[in-house]
Every structure is written in structure tokens, then in C-alpha cells.
């Protein structure tokens, strides 16, 4: 039947919900009678939704499709601040479960016609009297349209218990609204052929309910959640990675920091090569007694960062790193050489690092506990080991006079110092 519509009728029903979600931005959404979870699978991409729940009586159906709701690799590789928690329950919409209270939007797409009329009454009590969402979308077949569906005899599906005319659906919806303090509007999807819309209406009729403020005198069940039975069975739950989770934030931050330090290291090697080719000049600024780095090709962010680092390293080499100006000591205490990058420089020069960490002390805090990251003793700088290949490419001949920091970890503690074995 459905192929007579473009897009297919079930897609139009789901698109109706998605458009509603885009407009109204509900944060907690539950789809009752979610079936193969196809609506949930679309809704999960609308990141204004933070909690997405599906309920269906058919547990086997849920188990078959539930893994399609899992995060995809991109969700892990590029997490955002969006949050999404998904749960799937096996249970009947005729029963209360306290976990389904407090939702902004409840959808029930082509479900009610699968219930007996007494169960439709229970469904009304559960949704409007117990769950009490801000908004409800219910769709059901419009039986007036059936004569236009080619080859149809009887109901549209063998499991349907009824199919209502527009008047029947609207009278049920208006009654429920007045009992439970909602207002309702009617629409639909699947337009009739030209000239017949008014006579037969939409193929799928839709009621959209909005909860009224001040529902005094309505049939609300003031149940105590704590005493309510958990009548549904939780089959699936997943938390999407979000930067609100400190572990995820730390992981993303550390990989960004490592990316920058690797870039810096590569640039450092290039500069060293250029330096040997006499394209870079180191000079002494007499006034400050400071070393600065000049290159005709400077200007890019990385060069700025290099310049900062070069200066910082030169400043700190004496006190923090070697503890003495003595060249002999420098040679004897070198165990493992590192490049030292001040966190302040990283923070101001790397936009993603500053955006992720918010402020410098948070950056320090997040990096302190990460095993992949080594900080200087006072926590102000990142220490990046020079790997074998860095040293091999460098050769040992010019490490001492570079002006960059090839620092030794010998500054960490006196006890460590005693164990040092010169490795050059």
C-alpha cells in the first residue's frame, strides 16, 4: 500500500515527528510501540534530544534492532558537548513504569490500533494521567482513506483491532484532552489525490496534544514513584560520548596536546636543519640578556609557539633544568632529553586546547592525572621526550648550543640524580 506515497508513508510519519522535534526541541523523548526503532535511529541525530527511550511489547524485535542505536566511531573520535542517553524497554503501554515519567515528548506512531478498546483506555491513563508529558503525538490509520488504497480488504494490518474515521479519532482525543488537561490539534500525512482531501482526509491521521498549565480537577495519578513497580524490562542502554564527561574531555584534550607537541617537535627538527644551513640566526639581545629566535619564514602559529618555547627554554635552562650554569654538569646529568613546552604558551597558541580546557589551571589539572603526559615538577610545562630518532637525526654534536631546551629530567629530585648514568 505504502509505495503509492512519495516519500513512503511511514517515512512521512517519522518526518512529521522530526520536524516537530526540530521546532520544539524537547530534551527527553519516548517512543511508545517503537517497533524496529527506525524513528529512534533518526531522532538520535537530533542532538537537542538528550534522553531517548523506546518501549515495545515485542522484546525479540527490540533485541534484533537495538545495536543500530549504538554510537558510531565518529561519536568517539570527535565527541561534542552534546549529551545523549538511550534506553530500550520491553513492556506494555497499558502499564505504568516510573522511569517513563517526566518526559517532554511522547510519540505513539501507528500503535493504538494494535490495542483493544479497553487497552486504549488504559493507554490513555498511562500516557496522559501518569507519564504526563508536555506534548504527545499520536498517529493512527484514517479508515476513510481505505477505499483509495489499491487491493485493500479489511484492515491495513492483520493485527489491527480497529481503524477509526476522523470523527472517531477526534472524539477520543478531545475526550482524553478534557479529562487530563490537554489541548489537541489534528493533522496528518499522506495526502489524498487532488480534489479528494476534504472528503477522505489524510491516510495517516495525527493528533498533537499540548499539556495545559494548571490542570486542577483533571485525572492525574499522583503516584509516589518510589512505590511504583518497575514493570518494564530494560533491554538496552547506552551513553553517547560527550565532552561533559571529564574522562572523554581529558582524552580529547590529551590527543590535541600530543598532536601539537608532535608538530612542534617536527618543526623543531626542521629548524635545526635550517639552522645548520645558516638560514636562521640566533642573536643575543643585550638589554634583556635573552635569546630570541628569528626566521624569515616565521609568522605561522607554529613558529610563534616555537619562538615562545625557545625563549622560555632559554630562560629556564639554567635554574629549572640543570640547576647550574656549568657545562660539565649539564653533560654529566643528561639521562633522557626532553623539550619543555610551557602550558601557558600551549594554551594561548592552540585554539582547540584553550577551548577544551577553558582556563590554564584547568588545563594543568586535566593533564596532571594523565599517564601519557609528563609535566615539569612545578606543573607549568609539558615535557616531551626526544625519541631515539630525534636524537639520531640531530646527532649529539650540537645539542648543547642550540638555544632550545634539551632538558634533562635530572632536575626532578636529588635522589634521582644519584642514580643517573650518563648515556652519552
Binding site for ligand SAH (CB under 6 A): 10, 33-35, 38-39, 55-58, 61, 92-94, 109-111, 114-115
Query: What is the Cα gyration radius of the chain?
Result: 33
Cα–Cα distance, 345 to 339 (Å, whole number): 14
Do 241 and 85 meet the contact criterion of CB atoms below 8 Å apart?
no
Nearer to ligand SAH, 38 or 354 (CB): 38
For residue 335, the tally of other CB atoms under 10 A from its CB is: 16
Cα–Cα distance, 323 to 329 (Å, whole number): 9
Q: How far is the CB of 31 from ligand SAH (least distance, A)?
A: 7
Nearer to ligand SAH, 8 or 254 (CB): 8
Reduced to 3 states, what is the DSSP secondary structure of residue 117? helix
Q: How far is the CB of 302 from ligand SAH (least distance, A)?
A: 52
Looking at the DSSP bridge assignments, the partners of residue 338 are 385, 407
C-alpha distance from residue 392 to each of 337, 387, 388, 403, 424 (Å)? 12, 9, 6, 19, 12
Q: How far is the CB of 34 from ligand SAH (least distance, A)?
A: 6
By DSSP bridging, strand 135-141 and strand 182-189 are unpaired
Q: How far is the CB of 40 from ligand SAH (least distance, A)?
A: 10
Nearer to ligand SAH, 94 or 261 (CB): 94
Nearer to ligand SAH, 55 or 249 (CB): 55
What are φ and ψ of residue 66, in 5° steps? -65, -30
Nearer to ligand SAH, 33 or 181 (CB): 33
Nearer to ligand SAH, 56 or 406 (CB): 56
Q: How far is the CB of 128 from ligand SAH (least distance, A)?
A: 16
DSSP states along 118-179? HHHHHHHIIIIIII--SEEEEEEEBGGGGGGSTT--S-SSTT-S--B-HHHHHHHHHHHHHH
Q: How far is the CB of 136 from ligand SAH (least distance, A)?
A: 14
Cell numbers given for 57: 511489547
Nearer to ligand SAH, 29 or 93 (CB): 93
Do 21 and 97 meet the contact criterion of CB atoms below 8 Å apart?
no
Q: How far is the CB of 204 from ligand SAH (least distance, A)?
A: 10
Amino acid at each position: 500500500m505504502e509505495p503509492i506515497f512519495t516519500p513512503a508513508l511511514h517515512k512521512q510519519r517519522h518526518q512529521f515527528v522530526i520536524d516537530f522535534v526540530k521546532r520544539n526541541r524537547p530534551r527527553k523523548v519516548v517512543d511508545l510501540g517503537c517497533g524496529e526503532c527506525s524513528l529512534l535511529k533518526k531522532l538520535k541525530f537530533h542532538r537537542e534530544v538528550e534522553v531517548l527511550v523506546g518501549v515495545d511489547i515485542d522484546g525479540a524485535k527490540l533485541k534484533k534492532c537495538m545495536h543500530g542505536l549504538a554510537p558510531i566511531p565518529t561519536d568517539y573520535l570527535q565527541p561534542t558537548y552534546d549529551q545523549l542517553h538511550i534506553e530500550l524497554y520491553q513492556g506494555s503501554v497499558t502499564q505504568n513504569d516510573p522511569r517513563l515519567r517526566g518526559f517532554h515528548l511522547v510519540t505513539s506512531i501507528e500503535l493504538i490500533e494494535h490495542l483493544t478498546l479497553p487497552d486504549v483506555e488504559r493507554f490513555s491513563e498511562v500516557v496522559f494521567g501518569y507519564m504526563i508529558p508536555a506534548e504527545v503525538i499520536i498517529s493512527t490509520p484514517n479508515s476513510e482513506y481505505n477505499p483509495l488504497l489499491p487491493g485493500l480488504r479489511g484492515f491495513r494490518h492483520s493485527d489491527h483491532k480497529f481503524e477509526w474515521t476522523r470523527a472517531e479519532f477526534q472524539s477520543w482525543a478531545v475526550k482524553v484532552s478534557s479529562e487530563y488537561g490537554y489541548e489537541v490539534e489534528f493533522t496528518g500525512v499522506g495526502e489524498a489525490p487532488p480534489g479528494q482531501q476534504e472528503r477522505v482526509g489524510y491516510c495517516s491521521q495525527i493528533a498533537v496534544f499540548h499539556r495545559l498549565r494548571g490542570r486542577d480537577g483533571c485525572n492525574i495519578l499522583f503516584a509516589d514513584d518510589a512505590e511504583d513497580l518497575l514493570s518494564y524490562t530494560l533491554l538496552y542502554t547506552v551513553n553517547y560520548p560527550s565532552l561533559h564527561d571529564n574522562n572523554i574531555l581529558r582524552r580529547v584534550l590529551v590527543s590535541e596536546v600530543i598532536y601539537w607537541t608532535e608538530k612542534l617537535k617536527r618543526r623543531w627538527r626542521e629548524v635545526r636543519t635550517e639552522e645548520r644551513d645558516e638560514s636562521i640566526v640566533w642573536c643575543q639581545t643585550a638589554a634583556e640578556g635573552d635569546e630570541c629566535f628569528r626566521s624569515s619564514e616565521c609568522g605561522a602559529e607554529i613558529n610563534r609557539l616555537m619562538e615562545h618555547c625557545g625563549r622560555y627554554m632559554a630562560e629556564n635552562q639554567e635554574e629549572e633544568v640543570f640547576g647550574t650554569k656549568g657545562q660539565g654538569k649539564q653533560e654529566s646529568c643528561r639521562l633522557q632529553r626532553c623539550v619543555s613546552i610551557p602550558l601557558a604558551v600551549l594554551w594561548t597558541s592552540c585554539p582547540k586546547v584553550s577551548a577544551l580546557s577553558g582556563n590554564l589551571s584547568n588545563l594543568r589539572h586535566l593533564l596532571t592525572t594523565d599517564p601519557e603526559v609528563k609535566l615539569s615538577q612545578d606543573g607549568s610545562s609539558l615535557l616531551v621526550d626526544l625519541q631515539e630518532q630525534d636524537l639520531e637525526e640531530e646527532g649529539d654534536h650540537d645539542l648543547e648550543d642550540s638555544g632550545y631546551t634539551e632538558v634533562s629530567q635530572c632536575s626532578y629530585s636529588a635522589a634521582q640524580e644519584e642514580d643517573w648514568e650518563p648515556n652519552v
